């Protein structure tokens, strides 16, 4: 996860590993090494549906940002910091590609939100060949508390995320919301036990 380490835990940093399923069994995880992993915290936040792009979180000396790398042949390119419509001087922590790769949902605690970390959406600008201006997903989804670990379902209409707000069983819980034909998101629904618990439940992935 793209969270800061607990107090006193300064000896270890997060790295990204890869493992492959061979004959029904997962191989021994291998550290992806340079140029993916840095001296700070590195965490996978999203892999594109075509598996040719990956967004990773890098802790830039306390200023967490989102970077994107591309699969060129069998090698991942050096991560490139995503543009200013996504990254700010605040903390950007997680992201999710839409199934067609033209929409990106992400989390940031930049100024102007409804609480601490909020969820935002941006669309791919074909003219600029980059991500366009971001829009806050609004007060139906974002609360005065933290929202985290956004995930858009391949159907493009179901959003999963973790929140400390809404009605939780304890800490962060995983919620889902549906996008209506009117373009509005439904009231978030706690997906309940046994996925959620009285502890923090974050980074739900389908």
Determine the pLDDT at residue 9.
Answer: 47
Cross-strand partners of 60 = 63
> Do 159 and 105 form a contact (C-beta atoms < 8 A)?
yes
From residue 2, give the alpha-carbon distance in Å to each of 27, 105, 127.
Answer: 24, 16, 31
Residue 78 CA to residue 49 CA, distance in Å, equals 20
**pLDDT given for residue 13 in this prediction:** 86
| Closest to 132 measured CA to CA, from 110, 102, 88, 164 | 102
> Can you give the pLDDT at residue 8?
46
184 near 205, Cβ under 8 Å? no
What integer pLDDT is reported at residue 60 of this predicted model?
Answer: 73
Give the mean pLDDT per block of 10 residues along the chain (206 residues): 48 89 97 91 93 92 89 94 96 96 96 92 96 97 96 96 88 96 95 91 90
Which residue, among 86, 73, 72, has the nearest Cα to 134 in the 3D structure? 86
Strand, helix or coil for residue 180: coil
pLDDT of residue 134: 97
Please give the pLDDT value at position 7: 47
Give 4-25 as a DSSP string: PPPTT--S-----EE--EETTE
Q: Which residues pair with 76 in a beta bridge?
A: 71
pTM (predicted TM-score): 0.90
């Amino acid at each position: 996860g793209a969270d800061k380490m607990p107090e006193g835990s300064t000896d270890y940093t997060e790295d990204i590993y890869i493992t492959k399923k061979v004959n029904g069994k997962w191989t021994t995880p291998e550290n992806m090494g340079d140029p993916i992993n840095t001296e700070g915290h590195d965490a996978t936040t999203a892999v594109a549906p075509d598996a040719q792009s990956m967004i990773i979180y890098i802790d830039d000396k306390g200023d967490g940002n989102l970077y994107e790398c591309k699969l060129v042949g069998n090698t991942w390119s050096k991560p490139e910091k995503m543009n200013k419509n996504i990254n700010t001087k605040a903390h950007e922590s997680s992201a999710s590609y839409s199934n067609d790769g033209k929409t990106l949902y992400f989390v940031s605690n930049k100024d102007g939100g409804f609480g601490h970390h909020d969820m935002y959406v941006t669309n791919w600008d074909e003219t600029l060949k980059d991500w366009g201006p971001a829009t806050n997903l609004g007060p139906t989804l974002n609360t005065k508390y933290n929202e985290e670990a956004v995930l858009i379902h391949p159907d493009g209409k179901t959003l999963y995320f973790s929140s400390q707000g809404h009605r939780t069983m304890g800490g962060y819980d995983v919620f889902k919301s549906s996008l209506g034909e009117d373009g509005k998101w439904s009231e978030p629904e706690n997906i309940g036990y046994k996925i959620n618990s009285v502890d923090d439940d974050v980074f739900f992935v389908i």
